[in-house]
Amino acid sequence: MSRIVITGASGHYGRLTTDKLIAKGRATDLILITRTPDKLADRTAQGCTVRYGDFDKADTLAEAVKGAETMLLISGTRVGARVVQHKAAIDAAAANGVKHIVYTSFVNVEEANPAIVTIDHRETEALIKASGMAWTMLRDAHYADAMILNAGPGFIASGIWQTSTAGGREAMVWREDCVDCAVAVLTTPGHENKAYPITGPNSETFSEVVAMMNAILGSSIRLVETDDDGMYAMFDAMGIPREPVDDQSVGGIPWNSDDMVSFERAIREGHLDVCTDDVARLTGRKARSVRDLIEAHAEMLRSHVPG
């Protein structure tokens, strides 16, 4: 079977993908790239090949990708500065025998979309398409995990969810559903030169999500509408930098407010109101909903309800 090289293999997305590929019996086909191979010692024990590679040191990537026919390029985390990093990985792949790149992009990469994350994704998609390799774009919607599991406890504890989305809709998706789609694309034929918008099953407003949380959890979250300046003021007060800073996280999350405020605007203006059945088409089962995620983590979320 052909070998698959995975960048970002030590991260949340990469670990889950690796687990699922190993469960399908593909351990020895996997080449996992990391800046710190010790972090993936468990993978070596499972039969995977672990190699040193750094997006910021292009010359490390040629050796790292050798032997692979497919690359899962999991986008980097330095929003606004990832294109150079991705280009290094794409160039190394094209020059060293990789035939097909599968890339984790974003749900709507059209130029009109003001979400800052789309700039890097749009440029990376163009580089991949120009590389001569076959490609598959996994255009993931906003992760429900980020809003419900990461931000949710703060909303529940404070009783306030502040937003400038003004009733805009998005079909948030489970990260695990995105990973299941990636695994399907990596292990079944026929995905060359296709782009899949991978979304949840329902396009919802934050107000609808708040109502769902309150009903399921017994919380008293109030959605407070503000404008983008109000969002910046809130993030500034939380100590979140405006621009991305490597290795800085606030409360365990690598936030930056330019990115997040642009996201609110994208939702407000309807750019994230995309809802497809691609999870079902790729995995053979329905996409899980925001409600499903709240219910699946109800005990953890309820522990943040005051009193």
Ligand X SMILES: NC(=O)c1ccc[n+]([C@@H]2O[C@H](COP(=O)([O-])OP(=O)(O)OC[C@H]3O[C@@H](n4cnc5c(N)ncnc54)[C@H](OP(=O)(O)O)[C@@H]3O)[C@@H](O)[C@H]2O)c1
- The nearer residue to ligand X, 10 or 159, going by C-beta atoms, is 10
Give the Cα-Cα-Cα angle 170, 222, 212 (nearest 5 degrees): 50
CB of 140 to ligand X, least distance (A): 4
- The nearer residue to ligand X, 81 or 215, going by C-beta atoms, is 81
Chain residues in the site for ligand X (CB under 6 A): 7-14, 34-36, 39, 53-56, 74-77, 85, 104, 140, 142-143, 146
CB of 279 to ligand X, least distance (A): 13
Q: What gap in Å lies between CA 89 and CA 135, rounded to an integer?
A: 14
Helix (H) or strand (E) holding 106: strand 100-106
Output the residue with the shortest Cβ distance to ligand X.
11
Side-chain-side CA neighbours of residue 198 (13 Å)? 31
- The nearer residue to ligand X, 12 or 302, going by C-beta atoms, is 12
Cβ atoms of residues 189 and 277 within 8 Å:
no
CB of 53 to ligand X, least distance (A): 6
CB of 220 to ligand X, least distance (A): 27
CB of 233 to ligand X, least distance (A): 23
Give the three-state DSSP class for 290: helix
Structure-block tokens of residue 9 = 């293999």
- The nearer residue to ligand X, 159 or 258, going by C-beta atoms, is 258
- Residue 278: phi and psi, rounded to 5, are -65, -30
